[in-house]
């Protein structure tokens, strides 16, 4: 089907529009959002992997964090080009 966007990477879904960013659910990639687990190592690994994928194919990636408390401790996450983070707060729409 012309214009159809597909992805074979596990946990990465297209928005359904050719050229649209690919959406990754943070929980499907090791982040827990449980308020006690340090989610920084999983976030750093995901940002790095998605940044490398963007460098290879030019398709932006969006990390979606479902509602929860994400603990980021002990180290900084080096952000990569082509990677964005969105979340949804209590009673609020997702935003950057």
**pLDDT, block means (10 residues), the chain with 96 residues:** 45 58 93 95 96 94 93 87 86 48
For residue 3, being part of any structural domain is answered with: no
What's the total number of domains in the chain? 1
pLDDT at 78: 87
pLDDT at 6: 45
Among 2, 30, 5, 9, smallest CA distance to 19 is for: 5
For residue 84, list its beta bridge partners.
Answer: 62
pLDDT at 1: 38
pLDDT at 3: 43
For residue 28, being part of any structural domain is answered with: yes
For residue 63, being part of any structural domain is answered with: yes
33: left (phi over 0), alpha (psi -120 to 50) or beta: left
Q: Which domain range does residue 38 map to?
A: 24-87
Q: Which residues, at least 6 apart from 88, have a Cβ–Cβ distance to it below 8 Å? A: 64, 65, 66, 67, 94
For residue 73, being part of any structural domain is answered with: yes
pLDDT at 63: 95
C-alpha 45/C-alpha 62 separation (Å) is 14
For residue 14, list its beta bridge partners.
Answer: 22
Q: Taking the model in full, what pTM does it have?
A: 0.73
For residue 33, being part of any structural domain is answered with: yes
CB 51 within 8 A of CB 11: no
């Amino acid at each position: 089907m012309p214009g159809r966007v597909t992805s074979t990477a596990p946990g990465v879904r297209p928005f359904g529009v050719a050229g649209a960013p690919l959406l990754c659910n943070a929980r499907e990639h090791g982040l827990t959002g449980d308020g006690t687990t340090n989610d920084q190592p999983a976030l750093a690994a995901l940002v790095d992997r998605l940044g490398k994928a963007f460098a290879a194919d030019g398709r932006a990636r969006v990390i979606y964090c479902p509602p929860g408390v994400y603990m980021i401790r002990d180290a900084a996450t080096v952000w990569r080009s082509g990677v964005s983070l969105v979340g949804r707060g209590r009673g609020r729409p997702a935003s950057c």
